[in-house]
């Protein structure tokens, strides 16, 4: 993944646990101290960082990935890519429908990248089906954290349920999202 993803993992760990913990995580993972945002790195770098964070923080990978999804939205996307995250005239549902388009717009910036793909099906006013396609394994908790924070960004709250793998059109992962306005 591009360096900015690894750089964001670094940012999350430093913000929440401090520099010394980051140093511990990155030395266990055997990675550099920081990353070049616009340079592609092997996915193994990102997975090693998460693996080392699991050991150092004594937290399950799912929790770390979920927190990273939230952090990506609250501290990276809405800050550095505010125009892409604009809520003007856009709803949570519109934003999700447009995610593939958004990732393809930034292909200019990240020519070698491999973004995910999302298919959205409206089931009712407050319920949608989301199929997540990726060439990568294990990032579902990251997607959940992303969805939760994106919903909040659009003034919504969301509850995510997973549809059993057996019923899925592989290689995607299917989720059902119940959503509605955040309570005042």
Cβ-based nearer residue to ligand HEM, 52 or 73: 73
CA distances from 183 to 50, 157, 180 (A): 34, 8, 9
Query: Does 116 participate in binding ligand HEM (rule CB under 6 A)?
Result: yes
Query: Does 175 participate in binding ligand HEM (rule CB under 6 A)?
Result: no
- C-alpha closest to that of 52 among 87, 88, 10: 10
DSSP letter at 138 equals S
Residues 135-154 that bind ligand HEM (CB under 6 A): 135-136, 139, 142-143, 146, 150
Query: Does 106 participate in binding ligand HEM (rule CB under 6 A)?
Result: yes
- C-alpha closest to that of 7 among 17, 28, 21, 22: 22
User: Which residues partner with 178 through β-bridges?
Assistant: 127, 159
Long-range CB contacts for residues 78-87, cutoff 8 Å, separation at least 24? 78/153, 81/106, 85/153, 87/153, 87/154, 87/155
Q: How far is the CB of 27 from ligand HEM (least distance, A)?
A: 24
Q: What are phi and psi of 128, to 5 degrees?
A: -140, 160
Binding-site size, ligand HEM (CB under 6 A): 25
Name which position in 114, 138, 155, 181 contacts ligand HEM (CB under 6 A): 114
Contact predicate 5/75, CB 8 Å: no
Query: Does 1 participate in binding ligand HEM (rule CB under 6 A)?
Result: yes
Q: How far is the CB of 169 from ligand HEM (least distance, A)?
A: 17
User: Which residues partner with 44 through β-bridges?
Assistant: none
State the residue for tokens 């393809």: 104
Residues 67-96 that bind ligand HEM (CB under 6 A): 73, 77, 81, 84-85
Total residues belonging to the chain: 184
Cβ-based nearer residue to ligand HEM, 27 or 39: 39
Binding span for ligand HEM by CB under 6 A among 59-67, 108-116, 119-127, 163-171? 108-116
> In the complex, which residues of this chain contact ligand HEM (CB under 6 A)?
1-2, 4-5, 73, 77, 81, 84-85, 99, 103, 106, 110, 113-116, 134-136, 139, 142-143, 146, 150
């Amino acid at each position: 993944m591009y360096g900015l993803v690894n750089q964001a993992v670094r940012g999350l760990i430093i913000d929440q646990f401090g520099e010394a913990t980051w140093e511990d995580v990155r030395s266990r993972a055997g990675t550099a101290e920081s990353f070049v945002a616009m340079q592609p790195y092997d996915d193994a770098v990102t997975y090693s960082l998460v693996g080392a964070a699991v050991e150092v923080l004594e937290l399950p990978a799912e929790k770390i990935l979920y927190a990273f999804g939230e952090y990506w939205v609250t501290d990276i996307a809405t800050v550095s890519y505010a125009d892409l995250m604009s809520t003007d005239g856009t709803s949570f549902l519109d934003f999700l429908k447009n995610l593939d388009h958004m990732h393809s717009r930034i292909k200019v910036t990240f020519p070698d990248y491999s973004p995910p793909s999302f298919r959205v099906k409206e089931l009712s006013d407050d319920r949608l089906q989301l199929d997540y396609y990726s060439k990568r394994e294990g990032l579902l908790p990251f997607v959940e954290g992303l969805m939760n924070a994106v919903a909040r960004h659009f003034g919504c709250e969301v509850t995510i349920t997973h549809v059993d793998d057996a019923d899925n059109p592989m290689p995607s992962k299917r989720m059902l999202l119940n959503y509605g306005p955040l309570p005042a």
